[in-house]
Amino acid sequence: MRLRVFNQPLITVSKARIYMRFILALFLISLLFEMDVAAEDPIRLPVTKDNSIVMVKGEWKLNAGQQGRIRIKGNQHMVAMAFDTSAIKGKRIKNATLVCVQGKQTISGVTISTIATPWDEQRSNGLTAGITGIDDWGYKGARFPAVCGGNGFTLVHQANSKIRDGKYHWNVPPDMIHAMVIGVAHGLAIHEHSADTRRNPTIFAHEQSGKKPYLLVELDDQVARTPKAATGMRLTAANSRSARLTLTSPTRDGFAYEVTVDGKLLGRHNIPLIKNGQKQTIPLRDLPSSIAVDQPSEIKIVTLNRTGQRSQPAVIRSVIFNSGSVDKPKVTFAQAHSSPIAGLSVIPVTDKFDSSGKPVGNLPENYRTHNAIFNGQQVQLTAAAGEVVGFQLLLRGKDGKKVSVKVQLDEPEPRIDLFQAVYVPEKGRLIPDPLLPMPDSLSLKPDSDHSIVADIYIPFDASPGLLQGKIIVSDGRMVPLKIKVLPFALPRQATFFCEMNSYGLPDHVNQYYALQHIAYDHRVHANILHYSHHTAAPGARKSNFDMRLRSGRRMDNKRYDGIQPGSKVGYWDDFIEAFGPYIDGSLFKDGHRGPIAAPGFYLTFHESWPLNCRTYFNGNPDAYQAFADQPVYARTYVNILKDFARLAKSKGWKQTGFQVYFNNKGSLNEKTKAPWILDEPSGYWDYRALQFYGELTDRGREVAPEVQINYRIDISRPEYCRGQLEQRDDLWVVSSSAFQNYRRLVTDRMHHDDLTAWVYGTSNHIHETNRNLQAWALDAWQDGATGIVPWQTVNKSGSAMTKADQLGLFIFDKNASGETVIRHSMRLKAYRDAQQLIEYLNLLQQQRSWSPDQMRRFVNQYVNLKAQVHKTNDADAGTTAYGRLSASGLESLRIAASKLLTAK
């Protein structure tokens, strides 16, 4: 019994011990589980500074760094935030959420991006980061949008709003947090998707106790490996201001680069994040003045991983700033003659005097009798073979005296066209602008001018040497004329484009041809859009292809537009008949330059051709989802574009610059228009829609890659792309104001995406110097643009013949028989002179193998291209003025270029 009694407690104690061990194990497991759960709880990162960056005219310098509520409002107010990330230093991030307490209004979605430049909460605004030692927002002229939103190598992400308990919850990609933690980003920028400025959405700032923004971060237990260094480093494109460093990134574990030049950190806005195992380019620029020209510098590149671990530095020593010699030929003009011909002046065709003899723009006092081409007694011109040169003759004489004017040159005499300028009222003056064919005689006045414009077409096969002739006035006055023909020729096809924009085709195809002949004679081209903004509604007219053909029959617009859903072929017969001669250049077979294919031609493809978009639109603002219910819409667009591409290939239209262009400005609520603003996009969904249609265009044109079908985007807000349109090698037509304010952003896109850029704007006012047009073209060209686009250049009413019209370069008029004829403006001569000057410069660059920087420095030796862009409202294309441009500067540049081209 004792044994049993004794043994029983022993067994009980043993079981108890086992039981207690089991309970302890469960407790420990539970504790570990709780610790693991705790380890996965989100970590709150408090905001340390925030500011609403204002980007509204007149308010760029405002600071909201101390306000309790701050706006996030379309393109007018973006918010900058920075956070205390010390709690997660050295950690990998799995998820992150930005939490902001909602203020007024509701924000449906935002673009979140990193910020490339350090900034001060109390001193930053739209124009400056407010940091001593940093120019503006990282470089001279940089505004806040240039260093966020996907610009300046920043990360960008789109987040729909989730609102819980009055708080916005916006998901943030982990790499944005990594970038901030390791110091390669300086906070986050928040940009509203909508561009509706009628609202004033707000959030609470960190100054508001209890309602501060914060980041919720979940950690990842991945173990980071030390990154390898970059390899294959070399410098390219070194010039007087910058260079490019090319390298091969490590194959794994790399996230960002740290670049120092002689111990100075390179700005983050110049440094891309790592794409592992790829060749990358880092622009070296915005460096301190201590980096000497033509002296080697030490460049160190350290690779960082996502937790901040660093590689060994890769080092290269090389010259960054390379001066590169640039010649400066001396240019002189003939001395003024002591006895100028009375009552007669000759001036360059780009200059002008009002009817009373007062100059338009800043011209020297004796300019009428002494300028680059006239010394008071003789006219001297220089010209390349194929060039069109000219002059403007100003005549006075006895009151009522009738005279005729002739211009004669040596045999074989080239084509010479004479025009009489019409003086139109502007700003209380009569100023010459429209041109009429030269009449048989003129009735002179003693105290006001007659302006006669001469165009002289130098043949392409002209031999180098001197052409001699004279300007003869029938009253006995005569001016010797000499033209030095240079030993080189201009290209027949333009290498820099001046595209004259207009809307609505003329009534008859002959009028269209006449307009194009005038454009051709001035080395430009007219591009006329043929559809309206109100094409979207079901059954609406999609295009306006209804000119009368030479046969007398009208184009069958109904059949052209009558494409059914799912169709694979279009009706092109009338298109070919009307436009074929212009498209292939045969229209100009007898012209000065021979047959030249159309450099730019709008195709009909847009959001409502071939199918009206509202018929298939489901209301979703995201174009990628807007037609998901009826894929036949996108399929038909691709089908018909493929059909056109095959047609163009079969016709041999391989030199024509076809354009697929979405001109319309719409909104979700206007049922007759596109759901988006596709011309000069504004909101996020606009840019995304252009990306959608761009991809459809890519699919359509891929069947005939040898045909030039360019996807054209007219853009006045390139800074607000929000990461859309990335990697698209399209044609951007950029507004003059955007090209002035965000030039580097555009030129970086040109380099990075192989983008072609033209600059659009408005021709100068009649009361301003026409040399502004030349300077505008030259300014665009020197930074890589290959064309300019003057806006709305056709005056169809004929009103420009009697009153000043800033826009009207081509003017519909009636002749004595009542027939419609096309006149043109003197300003068209300025565009031609600009285009021909750029041809000189392109030839010079090819001959000398000069870099763009050397060409820029060569140009700046003769002309000052510091510009201002004037806009009357947000929709204005912008008029560019060059207040420091001298009268002789552009002619000096042209002569200097010709001297170098002909130097032995």
In angstroms, rounded to a whole number, what is the distance separating the alpha carbons of residues 564 and 570? 9
Residue pair 291/240 in contact (Cβ under 8 Å)? The answer is no
Report residues of the chain scoring pLDDT below 70: 1-40, 867-881, 883-884
pLDDT of residue 12: 46
Under DSSP, the state recorded for 491 is: -
- On the 0-12 / 13-18 / 19+ scale of CB atoms within 10 A, 246 is middle
**H/E stretch holding 842:** helix 827-848
Residue located via tokens 């084509």: 415
Two tokens, residue 467:
């052409």
Residue 362 Cα to chain centre, angstroms: 30
> Which two three-digit tokens encode residue 620?
């979703």
Residue with tokens 């009028």: 511
Nearest-CA neighbor of 71 among 104, 111, 48? 104
- pLDDT on residue 346: 98
Instruction: Give the containing element (helix H, strand E) for 38.
Output: helix 2-40
Please, what is the Cα angle at 884 between 883 and 887, to 5 degrees?
100
CA distance 45 to 213: 9
Kindly report the three-state secondary structure assignment for every residue of 761-794. Answer: ECCCCCCCCCHHHHHHHHHHHHCCCCEEEECCCE
Smallest CA-to-CA distance from 54 within 179, 171, 144, 149 is with: 144
Assign 303 to helix, strand or coil. strand
Which two structure tokens, joined as six digits, stand for 520?
């051709």
What's the pLDDT at 872?
Answer: 62
Tell me if residue 836 falls in helix, strand or coil. Answer: helix
Distance CA 277, CA 274 (A): 9
Q: If you write DSSP's letter for every residue of 158-203 in order, what string do you get? A: EEE-EEETTEEEEE--HHHHHHHHTTS---EEEEES---TT---EE
Sign of CA dihedral 588, 592, 594, 597: negative
For 164, counting Cβ atoms within 10 Å of its Cβ (0-12 exposed, 13-18 middle, 19+ buried), the class is exposed
What SS3 class is residue 214?
strand
Q: Which tokens go with 208? A: 């508001």
pLDDT of residue 410: 87
**Residues 6 or more apart whose Cβ sits within 8 Å of residue 301:** 229, 230, 233, 245, 247, 257, 258, 259, 282, 313, 314, 315, 316
d(CA 691, CA 689): 5
The radius of gyration of the chain from alpha carbons, rounded to an integer in Å, stands at 34
**Coil, strand or helix at 689:** helix
DSSP code, position 676: S
Predicted pLDDT at 21? 57
CA distances from 847 to 254, 327, 384 (A): 43, 13, 15
Nearest to 232, CA basis, from 296, 282, 177: 282
Burial category of 793 from C-beta neighbours within 10 Å (exposed 0-12, middle 13-18, buried 19 and up): buried
pLDDT score, position 40: 67
pLDDT on residue 719: 97
Cα separation of 381 and 486, whole Å?
A: 11
For residue 819, what are the contacts with CB-CB under 8 A and spacing of at least 6?
none
pLDDT number for residue 883: 61
Q: Are 210 and 287 in contact (CB under 8 A)?
A: no
**Per-residue tokens: 713:** 């985007």
Please return the burial class of 277, using the count of CB atoms within 10 Å of its CB with bins 0-12, 13-18 and 19+.
Answer: exposed
Q: Which two tokens stand for residue 42?
A: 């989100």
Q: Could you tell me if 234 and 244 are in contact, meaning their C-beta atoms sit under 8 angstroms apart?
A: no
Q: In which element (H, E) is residue 465 found?
A: strand 465-473
Are the CB atoms for 51 and 70 separated by under 8 Å? yes
Peptide bond into 610 cis (omega under 30): yes
Q: Cα angle at 758 between 757 and 764, to 5 degrees?
A: 155
Q: Is 831 helix (H, G, I), strand (E, B) or coil?
A: helix
> Residue length, the chain?
904
Nearest to 771 by CA among 881, 633, 642, 620: 881
Those residues whose C-beta lies under 8 Å from the C-beta of residue 738, and which sit 6 or more positions away, are 715, 716, 717, 718, 719, 746
Distances (CA, A) of 221 to 39, 217, 311, 578: 10, 13, 22, 68
The interaxial angle of helices 889-902 and 827-848, nearest 10 deg, is 40
Give the per-residue pLDDT at 222.
85
Q: Is 307 exposed, middle or buried (0-12, 13-18, 19+ CB in 10 A)?
A: buried
> So what's the pLDDT on residue 884?
67
